[in-house]
Amino acid sequence: MSDQIYQIFEQQQKERGVDVEEVKLRIKQLNIETPSWGYGDSGTRFKVFQQEGVPRDPFEKIEDAAQVHKYTGNSPGVAIHIPWDKVDNYEELKQHAKEHEVHLGAVNPNLFQHDDYKFGSVTNADPAIRRKATEHLLECVDIARTVESKNLSLWFADGTNYPGQGDLRKRKHWMEECLREMYLAMDEDMRMLIEYKFFEPAFYHTELADWGMAYNMAQKLGPKAEVLVDTGHHPQGTNIEHIVAYLLDEQRLGGFHFNSRKYADDDLIAAAHNPYELFLIFYQIVQAQKDRSHGIRNNAENIAYMLDQCHNLEPKIPAMIRSITNVQTLYAKALLINLEEVNEAQEKNDILCAEHAVRKAFEFDVTPLLRVMREESGLPVDPMQAYLNSGYGEKILSRGKGGASW
Amino acid sequence: MSDQIYQIFEQQQKERGVDVEEVKLRIKQLNIETPSWGYGDSGTRFKVFQQEGVPRDPFEKIEDAAQVHKYTGNSPGVAIHIPWDKVDNYEELKQHAKEHEVHLGAVNPNLFQHDDYKFGSVTNADPAIRRKATEHLLECVDIARTVESKNLSLWFADGTNYPGQGDLRKRKHWMEECLREMYLAMDEDMRMLIEYKFFEPAFYHTELADWGMAYNMAQKLGPKAEVLVDTGHHPQGTNIEHIVAYLLDEQRLGGFHFNSRKYADDDLIAAAHNPYELFLIFYQIVQAQKDRSHGIRNNAENIAYMLDQCHNLEPKIPAMIRSITNVQTLYAKALLINLEEVNEAQEKNDILCAEHAVRKAFEFDVTPLLRVMREESGLPVDPMQAYLNSGYGEKILSRGKGGASW
Amino acid sequence: MSDQIYQIFEQQQKERGVDVEEVKLRIKQLNIETPSWGYGDSGTRFKVFQQEGVPRDPFEKIEDAAQVHKYTGNSPGVAIHIPWDKVDNYEELKQHAKEHEVHLGAVNPNLFQHDDYKFGSVTNADPAIRRKATEHLLECVDIARTVESKNLSLWFADGTNYPGQGDLRKRKHWMEECLREMYLAMDEDMRMLIEYKFFEPAFYHTELADWGMAYNMAQKLGPKAEVLVDTGHHPQGTNIEHIVAYLLDEQRLGGFHFNSRKYADDDLIAAAHNPYELFLIFYQIVQAQKDRSHGIRNNAENIAYMLDQCHNLEPKIPAMIRSITNVQTLYAKALLINLEEVNEAQEKNDILCAEHAVRKAFEFDVTPLLRVMREESGLPVDPMQAYLNSGYGEKILSRGKGGASW
Amino acid sequence: MSDQIYQIFEQQQKERGVDVEEVKLRIKQLNIETPSWGYGDSGTRFKVFQQEGVPRDPFEKIEDAAQVHKYTGNSPGVAIHIPWDKVDNYEELKQHAKEHEVHLGAVNPNLFQHDDYKFGSVTNADPAIRRKATEHLLECVDIARTVESKNLSLWFADGTNYPGQGDLRKRKHWMEECLREMYLAMDEDMRMLIEYKFFEPAFYHTELADWGMAYNMAQKLGPKAEVLVDTGHHPQGTNIEHIVAYLLDEQRLGGFHFNSRKYADDDLIAAAHNPYELFLIFYQIVQAQKDRSHGIRNNAENIAYMLDQCHNLEPKIPAMIRSITNVQTLYAKALLINLEEVNEAQEKNDILCAEHAVRKAFEFDVTPLLRVMREESGLPVDPMQAYLNSGYGEKILSRGKGGASW
């Protein structure tokens, strides 16, 4: 029956003017890095529930990440976090990844877990600590060079908890100073992805609190600096896809940290909550990609997609697989939007028709499409089931409890 | 007793190293425009309750605004809204203001009440409507020139209610195009104040949704364009004083629309809700002003303060007086912060001491200070009571109901 | 091809253990009232854009509502608002509805548009105004009796804008007193549906601010009083389906006002934003309905579904049709959840499996199901297109502009 | 000068009709428990920064808490958390407290840190785990009996992260079942204080998500069960004082966890953010206390005040002292409200006057009042400075790092 279902799907799309071959090709090209830290134990401030089988070192994290790519086909990169993934020999780590048919992705400096950073890292009032933080940033540039990663992904916990605690304008300048030094150390083909966050762990002011602050920093630094959008880092109600469209137009959309949330930075499985939001984000990207082919400038073809999630309760590898397949699903749906139809309705201010032209793509069941795409790529048609059947989950239980964690 | 109270206050501040004469001087120099439309009837979408005595035309609005200045001494300017305040002869309106010892302030174009703007003004898909909107902007530049106002205050209702309704990137470009034309028509000493708003009346995307979008627009246009911060236009929890400090540092803080809110853009009496927030905003401004005297660049000396409120239930003139005295109170408190003390604690990362150095200024009762400041300025010591005793409120009842409204 | 698609759909569901005949039956039985006021002009506080063809009186509103039912088959009831729908002869209005194959639904008193209610209706400090408000409530009971409606749907704008404005506990008692009088006047088979709202038009405190206040009032009054959930009346992030499940369990879920929102009470087309939320609400209802058949008490079979929307920009009748079909779609999807599968996963604490068991029902394209359901019911397979083709929209243009509005 | 300042203050208040002696008496009677866990290390999910000198066991926690009471005079009780404060001999702990001139306060069960509670405690699908949780609740009743504490303070982390993860109605019943068993085990003079929370650590649904769910539970259990309001546990914008007034009126306000926040449950120093909110909460309480003397029923005289804070960055004991003095300050201000004046303005619907009658009490500087109150009580006039001068902070440094933590 499944062949028949796909044929019907294909036929339906053809009639709508959608080229299914092109859609499949685009999904195959999707590349979503998974975060090494997402395979370790995580939790809330109240409790980290340790899971059995959690990787004990960066090498095992890569092995787990390789499983996700093996079954989904869309996650060949593994983002690393320094010093969580610090090793003596990065060459070896790189090789290890290669052997497992993945590669090392974005390098993430960590400037929030050393005691020195209690009152800030690149914004600390103490120049010695700012120096230390800058050195770590420079170290990460070196690591990136070694592991042949082109992306440096920067998230800063810097901020304050109380009015008066810090001098907001001085801190702003200190951060710029440190980042400029890092920027100058970067190779020409490297990218600095600057992340912003509404709050947490800082509860009064966060240094880079919104896209505007990250964007302005990127502009000051130069063309190698771009903005990283984490889907969980906004105030409630924020229209994220608007920010995405805005940054695309300004050619400063560097990448994404996908995850979902209902409240704050909940870091749940991508698209588990309000899946329509991720669809609408992809709608902006897909439209911008098409506009490029008509000569409109934007940077929709060079976006670094990454997951950034905490699987506090659910098993890590399956949760990553679910996240990847969710992203595939919503990207596929966005690719089914007939953009001409939307555009025509927009020009007539026919709201109901324009909205419907977008929405109906969301309503399609893309399961048959993804199934065929996977078959064509030599992948299991049901990645989750294939992983569960593989015995890998049972095998790693021998690692026991107490693996890597934040 | 009141003399004695003031002497004690003065003595207390002296011991803290605060120069009370300087504080009084600064408060005297405070200049907060009131909005002509704030004297007319307003309401919610559910009901506009008409008040008796509401002004029937721009001339009467100015007379009412003059009352606020007469009793508070800090509101010599009256912002106008076109076409709500459209008159045949702006020279006459200007003279009328002068006769009432006030002047016309910021000119506010209105691009949201004509039927043509149903689907957008400067972002409308129809070039004829964008043209019309641009012409209105240019008309407002002319009016500003005529009435010798230097500030053009721009708020756009433009946005969409549904995904797909509009092309987000196209609309962005259209807006920039229109504003550039306006910008080029402005005199060298004019300022364009670009306001942003989280939502309402648009419920999906708002063209200028946050400070970042307004700031980026200002940057593209040039040095005469700056950002206007309306204190009610942010997502819940937003650290507004952080944005203020940021814009000061970037020299793009153009001005404020003061009002207070608990939920959305409630447009209530300034500082009626969470008064500490306005104090913290002034703390950033006062600190930046001081830094300027030490050679640090920012634009803290050139901020256009305005009220923008809707007195749906309470009488308009007294509500404006209350708003002005609330702003005076919180500005006065911010001026009592010993910035050296804050700075010293910050350098030692002594959070409790730094926070307290800010907070204790808030705890002072500045009533005696404001009383003496008023006496020195020849103003009534209790502006509200003086107005209520004046008989003006009774006199205008003869205007009846059904005056100006949105 | 469409027959084939449906056969495949039916086969797929059969294999999952879902009885498609039962699903269709349940959708056919769905009954969603549309609000008479949703056919009139509405807007924001900034502007009401008048539409051509808007009904000029309650009779025309019913005619428009009848169109929605004619094409969707699921909206036979029309909720009325008094005095907006005040007529001399309600018997005549009832007959008019009958002739148009609909009936009058919930009766909604209006206690927020008369000048007397400026400072509150049933919570006004003035006993004469509370009396007036109570009389209006009693009048509505009479009207409900006359038009044979069993539901009285109560929304109160009562609240305050400033701390101190009202005595919160006194107002609470006054409201209870008025509602008790109304409750006692109601027939045994009538229901009082008590709505709550987070804010607007009150901006400090709203008398019935959340479900807990509405629920407690219902409990105090007695079994004929229940809670009405408007999907746009909650703080951001609120888990509405949790409240729904809670009220079902307490047997106090009276009904819904469906609409969607991104920010506040935006009153947009149902399920246009975050459609997954409405699906999850129906999941709770469907599960509760099933539990009833196993003897678990809840009131899932007696829910009054209503739309409550403002089509500020889009044409009214098509927007209602879209809302109804959106609700049908999400209800249909919820009916596809295999509840046994969910339950089994829950018992094993298999989060990923439980979540997926719910989510995969959402992913199905129910278009073929709805098509067949419509065919079986003698309805057009595409209600929107059928309406647009009918010429009704053009016909009513002769009504001109300036029809009914808030 | 300070005597003179106080005399002036006293005179001012006398003229306003406020009895300063009564106010001082009320402040002296204020009793705010501090939480034993607030003296230990805490942090965010990103990092716990360990502080030197943090207590290593429950006995040292009590010693630290005793310091806070010694200098403030208002915190004789110390809330304990089981098993964090588990000791072999509770009699000994009680004696230890007595020797340090404090007593053990509310007993807080902990049902969120054992691995068994990963998927819930009293709502776990596994009856054995629910049994275990219930036994812990019963154990806490015993401990309360032993330490002669009358308050059992219950906070549940129970909830889910994903739709479908749990059966919402079953979990509701399981919780009720467990709490009923605990309730029945409680002595007649014990109180169960039921806390609610909007979210965290659960990110989809939280079992007791709002005051309504806690209140309904309390009602079902009986008169010994009441609601605990944590000021950080609400959605943004929530009018907490309204909930407080509501619960007072229903005689179910059990107590408070004071802390402040800007974003989520930030657990910062009480009243450090938006101090006006705590003032407005006390306004409701003070008004209710007065109404009781006029025969109006409410439970304003029997409220358990507690702090519940995490001092992640600042030193613990000083932060507690600051919190207590902040609460004293805002309570003192609320006691200065002339309630007759408010009431008269309310009856005339004079919004500006009513609001001002409340607000002006907030504007008074109560420092002189608190100073005299402290002198009369034999307390240091500046509790913070007295503590800092005492040398206690230096003495405990010998405890080193690595003391108690969550």
For the stretch D102-127, pLDDT in tens is 999 999 999 999 999 999 999 999 99
Give the distance from residue D369's alpha carbon to the nearest chain A alpha carbon, in angstroms: 26
φ/ψ of D255, rounded to 5, equals 180, -175
Q: What tokens appear for B149 in the block?
A: 């106002």
Q: Examine residue A75 and state whether it is found in any structural domain, yes or no.
A: yes
**From the list A198, A199, A406, which residue is nearest D46 (CB)?**
A406
Give the distance from residue D204's alpha carbon to the nearest chain C alpha carbon, in angstroms: 7
Chain C residues whose beta carbon lies within 8 Å of the beta carbon of residue A263: 237
| Residue-level pLDDT at B1 | 73
Percent of chain B with pLDDT over 70: 100
Q: What tokens appear for C47 in the block?
A: 């502007």
Cross-chain residue pair B262–D239, CB shorter than 8 Å: yes
HSE value, Cβ hemisphere, 13 Å, CA-based, for B96: 16
Residue B49 has pLDDT above 80, yes or no: yes
**From the list D46, D157, D161, which residue is nearest A157 (CB)?**
D46
CATH for C272: 3.20.20.150
Chains that touch B (3 or more CB pairs under 8 A): A, C, D
Residue D405 has pLDDT above 90, yes or no: no
- Residue D57: other Cβ atoms inside 10 A: 14
Chain D residues whose beta carbon lies within 8 Å of the beta carbon of residue B274: 274, 276-277
Q: In whole numbers, what is the pLDDT of chain D averaged over residues?
A: 97
Q: In whole angstroms, what is the distance from residue A374 CA to residue A368 CA?
A: 10
Q: What is the pLDDT of residues D313-368, one digit of tens each?
A: 999 999 999 999 999 999 999 999 999 999 999 999 999 999 999 999 999 999 99
Give the distance from residue C265's alpha carbon to the nearest chain B alpha carbon, in angstroms: 9
Give the distance from residue B157's alpha carbon to the nearest chain C alpha carbon, in angstroms: 9
Q: Examine residue A392 and state whether it is found in any structural domain, yes or no.
A: no
Chain C residues whose beta carbon lies within 8 Å of the beta carbon of residue A322: 352, 356
Closest of A361, A368, A332 to residue A26, by C-alpha: A332
| Residue-level pLDDT at D3 | 87
φ/ψ of A112, rounded to 5, equals -135, 5
Cross-chain residue pair B165–A239, CB shorter than 8 Å: no
Cross-chain residue pair B319–D352, CB shorter than 8 Å: yes
Query: How many independent structural domains does chain A possess?
Result: 1
Q: Examine residue A56 and state whether it is found in any structural domain, yes or no.
A: yes
Q: Examine residue A391 and state whether it is found in any structural domain, yes or no.
A: no
- Of the residues A54, A84, A161, A259, the best mutation for testing chain D's interface (the one with the most D CB atoms within 10 Å of its CB) is A161
Q: What tokens appear for C87 in the block?
A: 């007529």
List residues of D whose CB lies inside 8 A of any A CB.
42-47, 49-50, 112-113, 115, 118-119, 157, 161-163, 198-201, 203-204, 236, 261-264, 266, 268-269, 272-273, 312-314, 406
pLDDT band at B354 (very low <50, low <70, confident <90, very high): very high
| Residue-level pLDDT at B259 | 98
What's the burial of D217, exposed, middle or buried (CB within 10 Å: 0-12/13-18/19+)? Answer: buried
Closest of D212, D217, D142, D226 to residue D175, by C-alpha: D217
Residue D403 has pLDDT above 80, yes or no: yes
| Residue-level pLDDT at D2 | 81
Across the A/B interface, how many CB contacts are shorter than 8 Å?
A: 151
Q: Would you state the torsion angle of the CA atoms of residues B255, B355, D304, D405, taken in this order, to the nearest 10 degrees?
A: 120
DSSP string, D346-389: HHTT-HHHHHHHHHHHHHS--HHHHHHHHHHTT--SSHHHHHHH
Q: In whole angstroms, what is the distance from residue C66 CA to residue C78 CA?
A: 8
Q: What is the pLDDT of residues A66-77, one digit of tens each?
A: 999 999 999 999
Give the distance from residue A129's alpha carbon to the nearest chain D alpha carbon, in angstroms: 16
Give the distance from residue B94's alpha carbon to the nearest chain C alpha carbon, in angstroms: 27
Question: At D18, is the secondary structure helix, strand, or coil?
Answer: coil
Chains that touch C (3 or more CB pairs under 8 A): A, B, D
| Residue-level pLDDT at C405 | 83
Residue A12 has pLDDT above 80, yes or no: yes
**From the list D274, D351, D365, which residue is nearest B313 (CB)?**
D351
Chain A residues whose beta carbon lies within 8 Å of the beta carbon of residue C269: 355
- Of the residues A169, A216, A350, the best mutation for testing chain B's interface (the one with the most B CB atoms within 10 Å of its CB) is A169
Chain C residues whose beta carbon lies within 8 Å of the beta carbon of residue D298: 169
Chain C residues whose beta carbon lies within 8 Å of the beta carbon of residue D356: 164
Q: Please tell me which residue of chain D has the smallest CA distance to C249.
A: D169
**CA end-to-end distance (rounded Å), chain D:** 47
Cross-chain residue pair B250–A198, CB shorter than 8 Å: no
Cross-chain residue pair D43–A42, CB shorter than 8 Å: no
φ/ψ of D405, rounded to 5, equals -155, 165
Cross-chain residue pair D268–A203, CB shorter than 8 Å: yes
Chain D residues whose beta carbon lies within 8 Å of the beta carbon of residue A314: 161-162
| Residue-level pLDDT at D259 | 98
Residue B99 has pLDDT above 80, yes or no: yes
**From the list C167, C210, C345, which residue is nearest D210 (CB)?**
C210
**From the list B239, B249, B351, which residue is nearest A205 (CB)?**
B239
| Residue-level pLDDT at D95 | 97
Q: In whole angstroms, what is the distance from residue D272 CA to residue D324 CA?
A: 11
Q: Give me the mean pLDDT over the B386-390 stretch.
A: 98
Residue B182 has pLDDT above 90, yes or no: yes
Question: At C158, is the secondary structure helix, strand, or coil?
Answer: coil
Give the distance from residue A346's alpha carbon to the nearest chain B alpha carbon, in angstroms: 6
Chains that touch D (3 or more CB pairs under 8 A): A, B, C
Residue/partner pairs of D142-148 with CB below 8 Å, 24 or more apart: D143/D80, D143/D82, D143/D90, D143/D107, D144/D107, D144/D190, D145/D187, D145/D190, D146/D90, D146/D91, D146/D94, D147/D80, D147/D90, D147/D93, D147/D94, D147/D104, D147/D107, D148/D94, D148/D103, D148/D104
Residue A80 has pLDDT above 80, yes or no: yes
| Residue-level pLDDT at D285 | 98
Residues with Cβ within 8 Å of residue D293, at least 6 apart in sequence: none
Q: Examine residue D368 and state whether it is found in any structural domain, yes or no.
A: no
Q: Examine residue A161 and state whether it is found in any structural domain, yes or no.
A: yes
Q: Give me the mean pLDDT over the B55-73 stretch.
A: 98
Q: What is the pLDDT of residues A22-65, one digit of tens each?
A: 999 999 999 999 999 999 999 999 999 999 999 999 999 999 99
Chain A residues whose beta carbon lies within 8 Å of the beta carbon of residue D161: 266, 268, 312-314
Across the A/C interface, how many CB contacts are shorter than 8 Å?
A: 68
Strand partners, D45: none
Q: Examine residue C23 and state whether it is found in any structural domain, yes or no.
A: no
Q: Examine residue A204 and state whether it is found in any structural domain, yes or no.
A: yes
Q: In whole angstroms, what is the distance from residue B99 CA to residue B86 CA?
A: 19
Chain A residues whose beta carbon lies within 8 Å of the beta carbon of residue C274: 274, 276-277
| Residue-level pLDDT at B356 | 98
Closest of C107, C101, C133 to residue C120, by C-alpha: C133
HSE value, Cβ hemisphere, 13 Å, CA-based, for D8: 21
Q: In whole angstroms, what is the distance from residue D331 CA to residue D282 CA?
A: 6
Cross-chain residue pair C283–D163, CB shorter than 8 Å: yes
Q: Which helix (H) or strand (E) holds C192?
A: strand C191-195
Residue A2 has pLDDT above 90, yes or no: no
Question: In terms of DSSP H, where are the helices of D250-301?
Answer: 275-293
- Of the residues B116, B158, B239, B294, the best mutation for testing chain A's interface (the one with the most A CB atoms within 10 Å of its CB) is B239
φ/ψ of B303, rounded to 5, equals -100, 130
Q: pTM for this structure? A: 0.98
Cis amide prior to A368 (ω within 30 degrees): no
Strands A253-258 and A304-307: parallel
Q: Please tell me which residue of chain D has the smallest CA distance to B277.
A: D274
pLDDT band at B3 (very low <50, low <70, confident <90, very high): confident
Residues with Cβ within 8 Å of residue A184, at least 6 apart in sequence: none
Q: For residue D273, give its domain range.
A: 30-330
Tens of pLDDT along chain C (406 residues) come to: 788 999 999 999 999 999 999 999 999 999 999 999 999 999 999 999 999 999 999 999 999 999 999 999 999 999 999 999 999 999 999 999 999 999 999 999 999 999 999 999 999 999 999 999 999 999 999 999 999 999 999 999 999 999 999 999 999 999 999 999 999 999 999 999 999 999 999 999 999 999 999 999 999 999 999 999 999 999 999 999 999 999 999 999 999 999 999 999 999 999 999 999 999 999 999 999 999 988 899 989 889 999 999 999 999 999 999 999 999 999 999 999 999 999 999 999 999 999 999 999 999 999 999 999 999 999 999 999 999 999 999 999 999 998 888 7
DSSP string, A322-369: HHHHHHHHHHHHHHT--HHHHHHHHHTT-HHHHHHHHHHHHHS--HHH
Q: Please tell me which residue of chain C has the smallest CA distance to B161.
A: C268
Strand partners, A192: A152, A225
Q: Please tell me which residue of chain A has the smallest CA distance to B237.
A: A235
Q: Which residue has the higher pLDDT, C106 or A402?
A: C106
Q: In whole angstroms, what is the distance from residue D81 CA to residue D191 CA?
A: 16
ipTM of the complex: 0.97
Residue B2 has pLDDT above 90, yes or no: no
Cross-chain residue pair B263–C115, CB shorter than 8 Å: no
Return the beta strands (E) in A7-133 as ranges: 32-35, 77-82, 103-109
Cross-chain residue pair D262–A203, CB shorter than 8 Å: yes
Q: What is the pLDDT of residues A190-200, one digit of tens each?
A: 999 999 999 99
Residue A3 has pLDDT above 90, yes or no: no
Q: Give me the mean pLDDT over the D162-172 stretch.
A: 98
- Of the residues D115, D116, D165, D292, the best mutation for testing chain C's interface (the one with the most C CB atoms within 10 Å of its CB) is D165
Residue B244 has pLDDT above 80, yes or no: yes
**From the list A45, A112, A266, which residue is nearest D203 (CB)?**
A266
C83, C57 contact by CB (below 8 A): no
Tokens 């990136």 sit on residue = A144
B26, B303 contact by CB (below 8 A): no
